[in-house]
Amino acid sequence: MNLLRIIPNLFTLANLFCGILAVNYVVLNNFEKAALFVVIAIGFDFFDGFLARIFGVQGDFGKQLDSLADMVTSGVVPGLVMYYLLYLNILPTLSDEDVTVSLGRIEYDAGFLPYVGLLLSLGACYRLATFNLDTHQSKSFSGLPTPAMCLFVISLPLIQIYSHNETVLSLLKNNYFLIGVTLVFSLLMNIPLKLMALKFSNFSIRDNFMKYLLILSSVVLLIWLRYTAIPIIIVLYIGLSLFAKND
């Protein structure tokens, strides 16, 4: 048995483990801890591929395992987060007729609308299956990668907690806005939109100008805006990728 082949797979399983923990904390409405474990999981997701390339042990098994882990971390988690954001926005509008007590638990009938958020999970699943069959997505991605979508969505409840901008908060309390985000990102993951992969074959500024610009801009935005910067960074990533085609 090639021990070097096991190491990247252990990182992939660590990604999955953190993703499961994130699911648990989303269900408990602890979005801060959920976001923490998502970020850690995405770090493991980056290093499993990096180590596989370094050790020369890339293969179909690792690719399939990686997508299965990503389905939890970057598929199930953002779908559940959007579900709960929609659900929590509806709660204040419910009447006494929508509240029942079953086995000592208070249950709220919020209707079908919160389930729309789970379209993100379905879109992520479809994208990951497509990605596994596509052999041309090494230097660039076709469609928005699931971790980018996940970071965008997981940042929304953090912005609600920490932002004092009334305009931003009113947007996040608007379920039409959240449904729009859900539909747009479900499509972005699965349309043939060429986006840059953050992999470096060399470190020259000329060949990687857009990547360096994204990294530098991201650092500045995170220092300046904290959690509110994350959706902006994802939008910036998409925009710079479009220009990077001709870069």
Q: Per residue of the chain (247 residues), what is the pLDDT tens digit? A: 567 778 888 999 999 999 999 999 999 999 999 999 999 999 999 888 778 778 777 778 888 999 999 999 999 999 999 999 999 999 888 776 666 665 456 667 778 999 999 999 999 999 999 988 876 665 678 899 999 999 999 999 999 999 989 999 999 999 999 999 999 999 999 998 889 887 766 667 777 888 899 999 999 999 999 999 999 999 999 999 888 754 4
What is the CATH classification number for the domain harbouring 143? 1.20.120
Q: Residue 18: which domain range? A: 3-244
User: Cβ distance 15 to 41 under 8 Å?
Assistant: yes
CB 114 within 8 A of CB 86: yes
Cα torsion through 119, 120, 122, 124, rounded to 10: 160
Q: Are 61 and 106 in contact (CB under 8 A)?
A: no
* Structural domains of the chain, count: 1
pTM of the model: 0.90
- Residues facing residue 142 across a β-bridge: 194
